Amino acid sequence: MARICTMCGKGPITGNHVSHANNRVKRRWYPNLQTVKTLVDGQPKRVRVCTQCIKSGKVVKVG
Protein backbone atom coordinates (compact mmCIF):
# COMPACT_ATOMS: atom_id res chain seq x y z
CA MET A 1 0.00 0.00 0.00
CA ALA A 2 1.37 3.39 -0.94
CA ARG A 3 2.18 5.85 1.83
CA ILE A 4 0.08 8.64 0.34
CA CYS A 5 -2.73 10.68 1.92
CA THR A 6 -6.00 10.08 0.09
CA MET A 7 -7.22 13.65 0.71
CA CYS A 8 -4.26 15.91 -0.10
CA GLY A 9 -1.91 13.52 -1.91
CA LYS A 10 0.97 14.10 0.50
CA GLY A 11 3.65 11.42 0.19
CA PRO A 12 7.22 10.68 1.20
CA ILE A 13 9.96 13.23 0.60
CA THR A 14 13.64 12.43 0.17
CA GLY A 15 16.80 13.98 1.50
CA ASN A 16 20.09 13.14 3.15
CA HIS A 17 20.95 11.85 6.59
CA VAL A 18 24.06 13.84 7.48
CA SER A 19 26.40 12.47 10.16
CA HIS A 20 28.82 14.49 12.31
CA ALA A 21 31.56 13.44 9.90
CA ASN A 22 29.43 14.95 7.10
CA ASN A 23 28.77 11.54 5.53
CA ARG A 24 25.61 11.71 3.45
CA VAL A 25 23.22 8.79 3.01
CA LYS A 26 19.85 9.01 1.25
CA ARG A 27 16.79 8.74 3.48
CA ARG A 28 13.02 9.34 3.33
CA TRP A 29 10.56 11.20 5.53
CA TYR A 30 7.08 9.70 5.61
CA PRO A 31 3.85 11.62 6.32
CA ASN A 32 2.01 10.84 9.54
CA LEU A 33 -0.82 8.75 8.09
CA GLN A 34 -3.72 7.49 10.17
CA THR A 35 -6.45 5.06 9.16
CA VAL A 36 -9.85 6.65 9.83
CA LYS A 37 -13.38 5.64 8.99
CA THR A 38 -15.12 8.34 6.95
CA LEU A 39 -17.98 8.72 4.50
CA VAL A 40 -16.98 8.18 0.85
CA ASP A 41 -19.89 8.48 -1.60
CA GLY A 42 -22.33 8.06 1.27
CA GLN A 43 -20.76 4.80 2.48
CA PRO A 44 -18.49 4.45 5.52
CA LYS A 45 -15.01 3.47 4.37
CA ARG A 46 -11.54 3.24 5.90
CA VAL A 47 -9.03 5.62 4.32
CA ARG A 48 -5.47 6.63 5.12
CA VAL A 49 -5.17 10.37 5.68
CA CYS A 50 -2.46 12.59 7.16
CA THR A 51 -2.93 14.20 10.55
CA GLN A 52 -2.96 17.69 9.03
CA CYS A 53 -6.10 16.78 7.04
CA ILE A 54 -7.74 15.42 10.20
CA LYS A 55 -6.86 18.54 12.20
CA SER A 56 -7.99 20.97 9.50
CA GLY A 57 -11.41 19.31 9.21
CA LYS A 58 -11.02 18.02 5.65
CA VAL A 59 -12.01 14.56 6.95
CA VAL A 60 -15.19 13.91 8.93
CA LYS A 61 -14.87 10.82 11.07
CA VAL A 62 -17.75 8.33 11.29
CA GLY A 63 -18.58 6.24 14.32
Q: Where are the domains of the chain?
A: 1-63
pTM to 2 decimal places? 0.83
Q: pLDDT confidence of 51, banded at 50, 70, 90?
A: very high
Is there a contact between 5 and 49 (Cβ–Cβ < 8 Å)? Answer: yes
Architecture of domain 1-63: Roll (2.30)
pLDDT per residue over 6-48, tens digit each? 999 999 999 999 999 999 999 999 999 999 999 989 899 999 9
CB atoms within 10 A of CB 2: 9
